[in-house]
Amino acid sequence: LELRLYGNQLKSEKLAIIEPVICSMRDLRVLVLTKNDLGPASGKILCSLTMNFPNLIQFYVSYNPIGTKGLEDALPGLLKCTELKRLGLRGCNLDKNAGRLLSTILFNLRNLEQLELYLNHLGDEGIIAMCDSLIQAPKLEQFSVTKNDMGDKGGSQLAEVVKKSCSLKQIRLYYNNVTYITRQAFYKAAREREQKGLESINYAV
């Protein structure tokens, strides 16, 4: 069963009103709440929803300004979704402090295959906080941090992830504040993967 509420401008108030209706649905596997003007106050509602659907395999809350506070409030419910394969958090106004929360998600959701973080503000600090969990994520294949205010410090650490991850197939970091230092690090990391016999990776810097 899928529920796609894309671009309805629900806001937190309306989402709270329809929450019981959503929770009454059985066997919900895909929940899309993209572009609904959900702010930080929606975090607890998102927690309640995900608590109710531990068998979700896809959850998208992209282009909602939930912020790091909203993600933190939603975290207990998200961690119950152990079958989750795709998580969309594009344009959610996540800052550097969200890195530790995302690391927790990666560490606990061992079936995650795709994590979309395009258009946030994680910066070097937020990216670096995720790197160990990125390496250990056993099934993560696609990872995007395009437009995240990242510099060469974070970019170089992501190159180390590429070097060590056994599952990653695609990583995107377009439109960040990186230079040839990051590009060279990624080139070397991709070569080392080949030498180790790991699957080749598609990267875009």
Q: Which tokens sit at 18? A: 């329809």
Name the CA dihedral angle for 161, 165, 169, 173, rounded to a multiple of 10 degrees: -10
> If 0-12 CB within 10 Å is exposed, 13-18 middle and 19+ buried, where does residue 185 land?
buried
Q: Which helix (H) or strand (E) holds 163?
A: helix 152-164
**Integer angstrom CA distances of residue 68 from 43, 84, 93:** 9, 20, 7
8 A C-beta contact, residue 172 and residue 146? yes
Interval 72-131: pLDDT, tens: 999 999 999 999 999 999 999 999 999 999 999 999 999 999 999 999 999 999 999 999
Name the CA dihedral angle for 118, 8, 28, 64, rounded to a multiple of 10 degrees: 30
Would you state the pLDDT for residue 200? 64
Distance CA 154, CA 145 (A): 11
Query: Would you place residue 204 in the very low, low, confident or very high pLDDT band (cuts 50, 70, 90)?
Result: confident
